Structure 1
Amino acid sequence: MKFQSFLIPRRKVIELCLLPIFLVVAYFIWPEIEVLSLFAFGYIWNWTASNDLTALFEDRRYRMSMLKMVVNLQNLILKPFGWAPEIVKRIIRVLPAGIFWYLVIYLNESHMPWWATFLGSAVFELLLLEISLFKKHKESV
């Protein structure tokens, strides 16, 4: 496989580069490291699941990776809702990261803000919604 098959599109890089800005805003709203880290986990989870990583998963090294687990869990939860309207799918895309990290926090009997992961996922999905609305508006003009 060539190296270029692993390059991600510029739009996806920009989406990931917006994470520090969202973390600074979140810090001023709720200045705790636990909130920031779980917010980032939710954001990165949905960012990872939104990428087309099929070329990467064909490589043997990534057969049993955390990256593949994230994508598989996201697809497993979203598969029954393939018939649903786009807005319902976006709402459901927020759930997998939050549920996963909620279970991790619950099983470890930790006192962490489990809701921050849902919030990070929701911010990413809202960002995608804004981008798609802007793109549709630009095409109609």
Structure 2
Amino acid sequence: MDRYPRAELVVSVLVLEDRGSALSLAITSAALALADAGIEMYDLVVGAAASRGDNGDIVLDPTEGEEDSAANMCLAIMPTLNQVSGLLCTGEWEGDSPVEAMKLCMEGCQRLYPVLQQSLLKSTKKKVPAPVPDAS
């Protein structure tokens, strides 16, 4: 907020085909695009989704069919700061199942974070030319 005191960043995502977990993927993609554009952020935001089926099983990164289940959750976190930046729950969650789903989503985000870092590093290396050694 100090760097961009009156700025408003608007990120639009066009989903061409949704086979499930579109919101969590859009959150992750938007954060990666902002970082790739050079926008300073506290941390990359990583999204993950979970669904609880009628039988009580919790599935990470549900498909379109699995999202039609009893309950769904989309969690966005900043892994380095270990802070939740967004949480959206739908349906009826019972007992400890929302806590289990949050833990599962957080683990998924933590596993995805190094992949995003490597992708950002590769992109930056392509943009920045290699240093030319002095021929003295």
Rg bigger for which structure?
2
Normalising by the residue count of structure 1, what TM-score does the alignment of the two structures yield?
0.33
Q: When you count helix as a share of all residues, which structure comes out higher?
A: 1
Indicate the structure whose relative CO is greater, using CA pairs within 8 Å and at least 6 residues apart. Answer: 1
Could you tell me the TM-score, scaled by structure 2's length?
A: 0.34
Structure with the higher strand share, 1 or 2: 2
